[in-house]
Chain A
C-alpha cells in the first residue's frame, strides 16, 4: 500500500489508482472538468493540477499514477492560481448568455467559476460565433459553448462505440465535430443523448419540444393526451431536489392533469402490449427457425445503430414498434374513435427518459401517408421544466390513477425502464405461451442488475433458450462481433442503448449522483414486486384491447398498427 502525504495529511493509496482517486477517497476535493466517472482520464483540461514536491511542473491529478511517498499540495497558491487562470481562459471566449442557457444553474463552468472566485472578466478573448448544429431531431449542438473537455467524444466512442463525433482542427480552431463537419442528422449519431448527459455546459442539449407542447395545450381545438414511460416516475423527483429512487407515479398523473393534459396514459401498458407481440414473435421465430437471435427493438438508438453499423442484421430486429409508438398508434386508432374524437385533433405527447424517442417519433416509416403516432416527445428534464413554467410543484399533489383504456399495467411492463426488464417481461409471457402455465418464480435474477452484459439459459417447457441482456452500445457491438464470429447459442437478445437501460437514458437528470441509477433500478423492482398483476398476458386492459379491437397478437390489425420495418442507412460511419 503506497502512502502519500496530501496537504500535510497521510493518505493510504491503492496500487494502480490515480492521484485523484486517492485524494477523493481521503476526502480532499480537487475540482475537475474533463474527468468523468467511468470514462478513462485524458488530462485535457488541467483543472485538477496539484503541486508535487520535487517536480518542476504542476501535475494533473486525474491521470497521474499514485506512487509511494508523494508529497502533494492540492490548494497551494500556485495550484489554485493555475486553476483560476484556466477557468478565466475558458470563460474568455465563452458566450455570456447564461440567462438564456438551458444549463443555467446546472453547469460545470458556472460551478467552477463560483468555486474559484472568478468575479471579473480579466482576459478578453475572441468569440468564434460558429453555427449551431440544429440538424438533428433529437440533439442540438452549440459549439460556441463547448469547452473542448472531450467528455462527449469519449462517451460516444468508448461507451457507445458509435464515434459520430471527434475532436477536429487544431489550437484555437479546434472543435468537436462530425466527419466532414456534416450535421448530426446525416452522421452515424444514434441520438442516444449520452453526450448530452456528460456535457458540462450547454454545448449539447436535447431539441426542446416544450414550446410545441405548450402551444398544443393552449389550443382549444386539440385534445392533448400524454403517455409516461416507466423510468420517468422513478427519476422525476430528483429534479425537484428529492433523493433518487422515489416513485411519484400517482402524483405524476395528477401533475399532468394540472398541466392541462386531457388524458394521461401509462406507457407501461404499451410495454405489456409490446410483450404480447414480441413474445409471440419470439415463439414464432423459434418454431419457424429464425432469424435468431431475435433482437429487441424498443430502444430507438439501438435500432438506428443496427441500421447504420450492422444492416445485414436488420432481419434479427423484432418488427415490434416500441411501446411509445404502439401506444401512439392505438391512441389515435382506437382511443380517438372510442372517445368520439377526430384523430387529427388528438395531440399525442410522450414523456420519455430518452432523446432518441424524439427521433423515433418522426421516423419516416412511422409517418408514411398517415398521422404521426406521437406528435411530441418531452424528456424527463423537459417535463420538470414545464412543471416549473406553470408554477407547479410535485410534492403537493395527491396521487391519482392513470386514465383508461391505457392506464393499467403489469409489473412486467414497469420493468421496461431498466436493462433486463424487457427480457424478464418477455420470459414471463413466453413461458406462458409455450407451456400454458406460469413461472414458479416470476423474478428472473440472472437478467437483473446494472451490469452491462448479462447472460442466462432459460427453460420454457421443453425449450431451452440462450438469452443475453446488454446495455450501452459498446457492449452491444462486442456481442454482435461475437455473433459475427460464429456464436450460435443465443436466441433472444435485449439491447438498451444507454448504460443501465432507460433509467440511464439521455433524457434523464443531468449530473445525478452515480448511485442514482441503482436507486432508480431498485424502485422499479419494488414496484414490480408489489403489483398484483405481474405478467403482460394477465393485464386485463391488454386483454380487453385485443378482444375489442386488435384481435390477436401478430394478427392483421397488430401487423398494421404495432409492427414496423427498418432500412439500412448509408452514412459515414
Chain B
C-alpha cells in the first residue's frame, strides 16, 4: 500500500475495452487500489461499461470478496473453510460478531474494526484460524479470539 491511491479513472483509462465481461476484473482492481468498492466507483464503472449500478452491485454482492465499506484499522478475517468448520469456527465467528457488533463485510462506524469471512486461509493445520491485519492466530476458540480483539482495541486506545 505504498504511493498514492490509484483513482477509478486511472484504472478505467488502462482498460479502454468496454465489454461487460471486464466487470469483475475491474471491480477487483478498484478494490485492490482503494480497499473497497465505493458508490462513486460503481457509478464510474457503470458509465464506462454501460451497466446500471444495480447490476454492478448485484454482481459484486454475489461474491464474498467485494467490500463496500473501507477497511477498518484492524481487518479481521475469520476462516470458515472445511477444516476450521470442523474445528468449531462457527462458534468463533458468532463470538466475534457479537463482540464487534458487526456482520461479515461491515466496518465499524469508528473505523476500528472490519470483519470478513473467508473460505480458506490455507493454513488448515492451525484450524480454527483468524487473521488480523495479515497476522495469523491459530487454534483459537470463542474466548481467545475475542481476547485478541480486545488487545487490538486496548492497543488503539493507548496509542
Asked if residues A164 and B54 are in contact (CB atoms below 8 Å), the reply is yes
Binds B, one of A109-117, A167-175, A211-219: A167-175
Q: Does B82 lie at the interface of the complex (its beta carbon under 8 Å from any beta carbon of A)?
A: no
Q: Which residues of B contact A170 (CB under 8 A)?
A: 61-63
Asked if residues A166 and B55 are in contact (CB atoms below 8 Å), the reply is yes
* A157, A168, A169, A181 — most chain B CB neighbours (10 Å): A168
From the candidates B39, B43, B52, name the one contacting A166 in the complex (CB within 8 A).
Answer: B52
Asked if residues A179 and B54 are in contact (CB atoms below 8 Å), the reply is yes
Q: Does B58 lie at the interface of the complex (its beta carbon under 8 Å from any beta carbon of A)?
A: yes
Q: A178-B54, A179-B53, A179-B54 are in contact. Are A573 and B61 (CB under 8 A)?
A: no
Q: Does A572 lie at the interface of the complex (its beta carbon under 8 Å from any beta carbon of B)?
A: yes
Q: A169-B61, A170-B62 are in contact. Are A572 and B55 (CB under 8 A)?
A: no
Q: Which residues of A contact B39 (CB under 8 A)?
A: 179-180, 572
Hey, what's the 0/1 contact readout for B44-60 against A, CB within 8 Å counting as 1?
A: 00100000111111100
Q: Which residues of B contact A13 (CB under 8 A)?
A: none
From the candidates A164, A169, A179, A573, name the one contacting B62 in the complex (CB within 8 A).
Answer: A169
Instruction: Tell me if B's interface is mostly helix, strand, loop or mixed.
Output: helix
- Interface residue tally for chain B (C-beta within 8 Å): 15
Q: Which residues of A contact B53 (CB under 8 A)?
A: 179-180, 188, 572-573
Asked if residues B68 and A573 are in contact (CB atoms below 8 Å), the reply is no
Asked if residues B62 and A166 are in contact (CB atoms below 8 Å), the reply is no
Hey, what's the 0/1 contact readout for B65-103 against A, CB within 8 Å counting as 1?
A: 000100000000000000000000000000000000000
How distant is the Cα of A24 from the Cα of B149 in the complex, in angstroms? 62
Interchain nearest-CB distance for A293 vs B (Å):
24
Interchain nearest-CB distance for B47 vs A (Å):
9
Instruction: Tell me if A's interface is mostly helix, strand, loop or mixed.
Output: mixed
- Those of A170-192 within 8 Å (CB) of chain B: 170, 177-181, 187-188
Interchain nearest-CB distance for A84 vs B (Å):
29
Asked if residues B52 and A168 are in contact (CB atoms below 8 Å), the reply is no
Asked if residues B62 and A163 are in contact (CB atoms below 8 Å), the reply is no
Closest chain A residue to B68, Cβ basis: A180
Q: Which residues of B contact A169 (CB under 8 A)?
A: 61-62
- Those of B8-34 within 8 Å (CB) of chain A: none
Q: Which residues of A contact B68 (CB under 8 A)?
A: 180
Asked if residues A163 and B61 are in contact (CB atoms below 8 Å), the reply is no
How distant is the Cα of A170 from the Cα of B57 in the complex, in angstroms? 12
Interchain nearest-CB distance for B27 vs A (Å):
13
Closest chain A residue to B51, Cβ basis: A163
Interchain nearest-CB distance for B63 vs A (Å):
8
Q: Which residues of B contact A164 (CB under 8 A)?
A: 52, 54
Asked if residues A163 and B52 are in contact (CB atoms below 8 Å), the reply is yes
Asked if residues B42 and A572 are in contact (CB atoms below 8 Å), the reply is yes
Asked if residues A572 and B43 are in contact (CB atoms below 8 Å), the reply is yes
Q: A157-B52, A573-B52 are in contact. Are A168 and B46 (CB under 8 A)?
A: no
Interchain nearest-CB distance for B94 vs A (Å):
16
Q: Which residues of A contact B52 (CB under 8 A)?
A: 157, 163-164, 166, 179, 188, 573
How distant is the Cα of A163 from the Cα of B54 in the complex, in angstroms? 7
- Those of A141-165 within 8 Å (CB) of chain B: 157, 163-165
* A157, A180, A187, A573 — most chain B CB neighbours (10 Å): A180
How distant is the Cα of A454 from the Cα of B89 in the complex, in angstroms? 62
Interchain nearest-CB distance for A440 vs B (Å):
47
Asked if residues A166 and B58 are in contact (CB atoms below 8 Å), the reply is yes
* B39, B57, B58 — most chain A CB neighbours (10 Å): B58
How distant is the Cα of A181 from the Cα of B57 in the complex, in angstroms? 9
Q: Which residues of A contact B62 (CB under 8 A)?
A: 168-170
Q: Which residues of A contact B55 (CB under 8 A)?
A: 157, 163, 166
- Those of A302-326 within 8 Å (CB) of chain B: none
Interchain nearest-CB distance for A362 vs B (Å):
24
Q: Which residues of B contact A166 (CB under 8 A)?
A: 52, 54-55, 57-58
How distant is the Cα of A163 from the Cα of B59 in the complex, in angstroms? 14
Asked if residues A573 and B58 are in contact (CB atoms below 8 Å), the reply is no
Interchain nearest-CB distance for B5 vs A (Å):
21
How distant is the Cα of A36 from the Cα of B11 in the complex, in angstroms? 40
How distant is the Cα of A169 from the Cα of B104 in the complex, in angstroms? 13
How distant is the Cα of A163 from the Cα of B49 in the complex, in angstroms? 15
How distant is the Cα of A178 from the Cα of B55 in the complex, in angstroms? 9
Interchain nearest-CB distance for A221 vs B (Å):
45
Closest chain A residue to B38, Cβ basis: A180
Q: Which residues of B contact A187 (CB under 8 A)?
A: 54
Q: Which residues of A contact B54 (CB under 8 A)?
A: 163-166, 177-179, 187-188, 572
How distant is the Cα of A188 from the Cα of B56 in the complex, in angstroms? 14
How distant is the Cα of A536 from the Cα of B61 in the complex, in angstroms? 53
How distant is the Cα of A125 from the Cα of B86 in the complex, in angstroms? 24
Closest chain A residue to B60, Cβ basis: A168
Closest chain A residue to B47, Cβ basis: A573
- Those of A376-401 within 8 Å (CB) of chain B: none
Q: A157-B52, A180-B68 are in contact. Are A168 and B58 (CB under 8 A)?
A: yes
Q: Which residues of B contact A573 (CB under 8 A)?
A: 43, 46, 52-53
* B46, B54, B57, B58 — most chain A CB neighbours (10 Å): B54
Interchain nearest-CB distance for B50 vs A (Å):
11
Q: Which residues of B contact A179 (CB under 8 A)?
A: 39, 42, 52-54, 56-57
How distant is the Cα of A157 from the Cα of B50 in the complex, in angstroms? 13
Q: Which residues of B contact A181 (CB under 8 A)?
A: 57
Interchain nearest-CB distance for B4 vs A (Å):
26
Closest chain A residue to B43, Cβ basis: A572
How distant is the Cα of A44 from the Cα of B45 in the complex, in angstroms? 28
Closest chain B residue to A309, Cβ basis: B52
Interchain nearest-CB distance for A197 vs B (Å):
19
Q: Which residues of B contact A157 (CB under 8 A)?
A: 52, 55
Closest chain A residue to B64, Cβ basis: A170
Q: Which residues of B contact A180 (CB under 8 A)?
A: 39, 42, 53, 57, 68
Closest chain B residue to A162, Cβ basis: B52
Interchain nearest-CB distance for A126 vs B (Å):
15
How distant is the Cα of A180 from the Cα of B60 in the complex, in angstroms? 10
Hey, what's the 0/1 contact readout for A550-573 against B, CB within 8 Å counting as 1?
A: 000000000000000000000011
Interchain nearest-CB distance for A291 vs B (Å):
25
Give 5 A-B contacts (CB < 8 Å), ordered by A residue. A166-B52, A168-B61, A169-B61, A180-B39, A188-B54
A157-B52, A164-B52 given; name 8 further pairs at CB < 8 Å: A164-B54, A166-B54, A168-B58, A168-B62, A169-B62, A180-B42, A180-B53, A572-B42
- B binding-site residues for A, Cβ under 8 Å: 39, 42-43, 46, 52-58, 61-63, 68
